[in-house]
A and B are shown apart, each in its own frame.
Chain A
């Protein structure tokens, strides 16, 4: 069974600074996807960034980038130029490739990291 571990329950960063959130996972699969979702207080979960396991190049989305280390099973999220609106719970999630046998496409989430951006 796959597991996702986020070892930092809470983090804080000053506005405009850079912060890195950690995520490790365990799987025997070779084809899978990794995601970071953001859940602002009392609001819906939003996809921040995704990474396909077969791609060596790290994904980037504006101020958000990942450091994907497949051999180490590590998938950290870097937020540059932090903004007050980045304050939220951040969840790392794993999904087995949808078209592999037995995959239902459901996400397996870590426990989350609560990020506070301070002015």
Chain B
């Protein structure tokens, strides 16, 4: 059990560029969640996967955001045409999907859009 891994830890980009983040969940965790955390706020739900299927997307996830989880293993979150308002910490969490659904978080990717 090596924990949830996220890469990169920090990303600085210019407005209008595309960025992609990666999350490697704990092995055999079938559920994977993406959250966004802005300064002074708690994390907010973006989307989640059960195995390879993306089953829910928050209204926070605009058309510029896309997430994938091929083969039900790692997941990627891509933001196209980044805007300054996208600057935030992007957190990934995974769980076994049992009733209490304990979620284990990665350290996050901090995105700064200049």
CB-CB contacts of A23-64 with B at 8 A, as 1s and 0s?
000000000010001000011111100101000000000000
Give Cα distance in the complex from A83 to B56, angstroms. Answer: 39
A33 to B100, CA, bound (A): 7
- Tell me if B101 and A33 are in contact (CB < 8 A): yes
Separation of A42 and B3 alpha carbons in the complex (Å): 16
Min CB distance, B75 to chain A, in Å? 15
Query: Is A99 touching B4 in the complex (CB atoms < 8 A)?
Result: no
Interface residues in A83-119 by Cβ distance below 8 A to B read 91, 93, 95, 97-99, 104-112
Residues of A contacting B101 with CB < 8 Å?
A: 33, 95, 98, 105
A44 touches B100 (CB 8 A): no
Asked if B43 and A107 make an inter-chain contact with CB atoms under 8 angstroms apart, the answer reads yes
Interface CB pairs A-B, < 8 A, 19: A44-B4, A44-B106, A44-B107, A45-B43, A45-B105, A47-B102, A50-B102, A91-B43, A98-B97, A99-B99, A104-B55, A105-B33, A106-B45, A106-B48, A107-B35, A109-B42, A109-B43, A109-B44, A111-B42
**0/1 string, A3-33, CB within 8 A of B gives 1:** 0100000000000000000000000000001
Knowing that A45-B91, A107-B35 are A-B contacts, what are 18 other residue pairs whose CB atoms are under 8 Å apart, sorted by A's residue number? A33-B100, A33-B101, A44-B3, A44-B105, A47-B104, A95-B101, A97-B99, A98-B97, A98-B99, A98-B100, A104-B45, A104-B55, A105-B48, A107-B43, A109-B44, A111-B42, A112-B41, A112-B42
